[in-house]
Amino acid sequence: MEHLTREGRHQVRALIRRPAPWLSVPTVEVNIAEDSERLRDAFAGTNTVVHLAGTNEAVAKADPDRALADTAAAARQVGEASTAVGVRRVVYVSTVHVYGAALVAGATVSEGTVAQPTSPYAVARLAAEHLLAATAPETVVVRLTNGVGAPIAPEIDRWSLVANDLCRQAVTTGELRLRTDGSQWRDFVALDDVCRVLAATFDPSRVPTGTYNLGSGLPLTVRDLAALVQDAAEAATGKRPPLHAPQAKDGATAPYLVVSDRFAALGLRAEVPVRAAMDETVRFCFDHRKALERRETP
């Protein structure tokens, strides 16, 4: 939202479930899964709805029934409200985890790969894609890999994400700890690129309806990501935070590759290096160190 307002070409308002004083755009408090009338009122006069809502992966793991019910209900309500008031287009930010069983060593995952979700979180997101396709006027689905970059405020509760967690650890504890050996492959993409590409999807003459992958196309292991955080912290302080992780298993696996061919064909590609996004996030953590330390205090 901040990216869109900086551009100056869009008038933006945000739908929120609870107060978010860090947002600089007009806000409307609404439970989109339940309050259809208020949702229609909020959408009135809008050309494009960007649907970001849905139960995250941490909540889905702890409460899969809630994840399935809330995410699906929200998607249906958004689609039906958009159609009712004449919204032109809904852009839904989904996840590459809908590919599930296809995300294996050595695989190349394109928009043509069959979705095979293997977790309640991914099943819920795929269901939301289908519900929006069935109810919204026209839909662009963006299957995002792993967005990385500084949040807008320390109060945003996504510090469980591995990139954010590692940056916070480096700043608040002076060391990094992984729960696994860090050999998992991931595709990380800078949030600046995500915002830029999402803004392009608002224009039907530039981005047709359909499903698109969005990632950097440059797989890294979680241990590689941790090294970028160490580099950023060392550049800022002159001291390299140590990394603590279980011993890596013998026999490294090949990465899977997520390709974003449909966006690439439209001239939309990831351009910001992941290193730059991690540098930004570490700087953010230093700037908000006291707030982050308070979040960790029982």
pLDDT tens-place string over residues 67-111: 999 999 999 999 999 999 999 999 999 999 999 999 999 999 999
Nearest to 68 by CA among 57, 78, 55: 55
Residue 33 has pLDDT above 90, yes or no: no
Confidence of residue 4 (pLDDT cuts 50, 70, 90): low
Residue 298 has pLDDT above 80, yes or no: no
Average pLDDT, stretch 1-24? 78
Q: pLDDT value at position 1?
A: 53
In a domain, 42, yes or no: no
Tokens for 147? 């967005």
In a domain, 249, yes or no: yes
Average pLDDT, stretch 105-129? 97
Lowest mean pLDDT among 32-36, 81-85, 132-136: 32-36
CATH number where 249 lies: 3.90.25.10
Mean per-residue pLDDT over the chain, rounded: 93
Give how many domains the chain has, as a whole number: 1
Q: pLDDT value at position 96?
A: 97
192-249 tens-digit pLDDT: 999 999 999 999 999 999 999 999 999 999 999 999 999 999 999 999 999 999 988 7
Lowest mean pLDDT among 64-68, 139-143, 215-219: 64-68
Amino acid identity at 151: P
Please classify residue 59 by burial: count the beta carbons closer than 10 Å to its beta carbon, then call 0-12 exposed, 13-18 middle and 19+ buried.
middle
In a domain, 109, yes or no: no
In a domain, 120, yes or no: no
What is the span of the domain harbouring residue 172?
147-187+216-258+272-298
% pLDDT > 90, the chain? 83
Q: pLDDT value at position 2?
A: 60
In a domain, 70, yes or no: no
Q: pLDDT value at position 199?
A: 95
Q: pLDDT value at position 294?
A: 83
In a domain, 100, yes or no: no
In a domain, 83, yes or no: no
Please classify residue 194 by burial: count the beta carbons closer than 10 Å to its beta carbon, then call 0-12 exposed, 13-18 middle and 19+ buried.
buried
HSE-up (13 A, CA, CB side) for residue 265: 10
In a domain, 290, yes or no: yes
Q: pLDDT value at position 296?
A: 63
239-272 tens-digit pLDDT: 999 999 998 877 678 999 999 999 999 999 999 9
Average pLDDT, stretch 283-295? 93
171-196 tens-digit pLDDT: 999 999 999 999 999 999 999 999 99
CA distances from 231 to 70, 185, 243, 283 (A): 40, 20, 12, 12
* Distance, CA of 195 to CA of 122 (rounded, Å): 22
Confidence of residue 274 (pLDDT cuts 50, 70, 90): very high
44-58 tens-digit pLDDT: 999 999 999 988 888
Confidence of residue 297 (pLDDT cuts 50, 70, 90): very low
